[in-house]
Amino acid sequence: MNSRTIASASLALPLALILAACGGSSDGASEAASAKTSPSHEGKITLSAEQIASAGVKIGRPMVGGGATVELPAMIEGDPDRTQVVSASIGGRIVSLTRNLGQSVGSGQTLAVIESREAASLNAEFKAARARLSLANSNLAREQRLFSQRVSPEQDLIAARTAATEARIAFRLAQQQVSAAGTGGGALNRIGITAPISGQVISRSVMLGQTVAADAELFRVANLSSLSLSFNLQPRDAGRVRPGATVTVKAAGREATASVSYVSPALDAATRQVPVIATLDNRAGQWRVGEPVTASVTLTGTGADSAIRVPSTAIQTIDGKPAVFVRTSYGFKVSPVTLGDRAGDSVIVRSGLSGSEQIATINSFTLKAEIGKGEAGEED
């Protein structure tokens, strides 16, 4: 070996050591960076119980059972079976009004008095028919007495009986006509309009002194102890609602439950939705006709009893897909999920959870932020 060879060998050894040292340092730094950012990049977040508590992250289990819930705008209306329109049976002038909006009225009580010539004619015919009936009955009694004494022939008795029968029929007809028009209004030319049911006056269409035509609407009386709730469902949801289903009714500071009584078999021509009516108990008087409210309807369907639901606050979007954070021994891991319908404040999870996991339910967005920090560190 000459001196040049020895010199080359002696230079090669330090260079190899330097390269090895540089390479070892680079690999160590890479492993350290990987150890720091890998958990977040892989959807794993290492946190202690103290860190989780200080971040305000709440942990809970998914809810199992119960179908989806849809929230819809709804309107409170009078129950059609407990609402009556009060109309004028004859035309005339309103000379008396005894009830105003919101006031209570009993069945058979007078709401208004109408004055007209037709009323006078009806009352006169009624009184004349009553007088004729009284006379016919008197004649029949006299003929029966005379016939029993063999003074009057049987033909006279038969004629008296026929006249009395005809007078009775005429009287009943006049009585029914007066009854159909209204009760006595205190004078021959007046007819009283009475309430057909007990309840409250929810509409009044006339004023004192106004002239009204026959069959004109005067009042609406409703028994408000039970009301109707009307709303519309999408056709895809209507098939999952049946009569008897529970509806939660919400308004400012109030909440109650109603029961579905009718689901239309046909779509509304204007809205292309399915009209639904529910019955709402209003004996406490906290709901008003015409009031807009929110109705929450639970939808039934296959698998509803085993549906897995999580709070909507547990859902975060990771890489453009919905996911939840599942508790692990080292902290949390990201679990992608497939979502279904909303159920009030929760969401149905169709896949991705078994229902037995512990998940982050509140402040899960802080865990998403940790993943963002890890990814940012990896890019640096």
Q: All domains of the chain, ordered by start, with CATH?
A: 41-68+305-379 (2.40.420.20), 70-79+223-298 (2.40.30.170), 88-114+192-222 (2.40.50.100), 117-188 (1.10.287)
Query: Which range, 178-187, 309-318, 334-343, is most confident?
Result: 309-318
The answer to whether 45 and 367 are in contact (CB under 8 A) is yes
**pLDDT value at position 323?**
92
* Residue position matching structure tokens 């049987």: 154
Helix (H) / strand (E) containing 83: strand 83-87
Closest listed residue to residue 180, CA positions, set 162, 168, 192, 167: 192
**pLDDT value at position 144?**
92
Mean pLDDT of 321-335: 92
Note the pLDDT tens digit of each residue in 63-78: 876 556 778 899 999 8
Q: Tell whether the model's pLDDT for residue 176 goes beyond 50.
A: yes
**pLDDT value at position 163?**
93
Tell me the average pLDDT of the chain.
81
The model's pTM: 0.51
Helices then strands, each counted (H, E), the chain: 6, 25
How many CA atoms within 13 Å lie on the side-chain side of 50? 0
How far is 29 from 42, CA to CA, in rounded Å? 19
**pLDDT value at position 355?**
84
**Pairing mode, strands 308-311 and 58-60:** unpaired
SS3 290: coil
**pLDDT value at position 23?**
38
Mean pLDDT of 350-369: 88
Closest listed residue to residue 199, CA positions, set 85, 345, 121: 85
Note the pLDDT tens digit of each residue in 117-140: 887 788 888 889 999 999 999 999
Read off the pLDDT band of 106 (50, 70, 90). Answer: very high
Torsion, Cα of 49, 54, 56, 58 (10° steps): 10
The answer to whether 258 and 75 are in contact (CB under 8 A) is no
Note the pLDDT tens digit of each residue in 210-250: 999 988 999 999 998 899 999 999 888 888 888 988 899 99
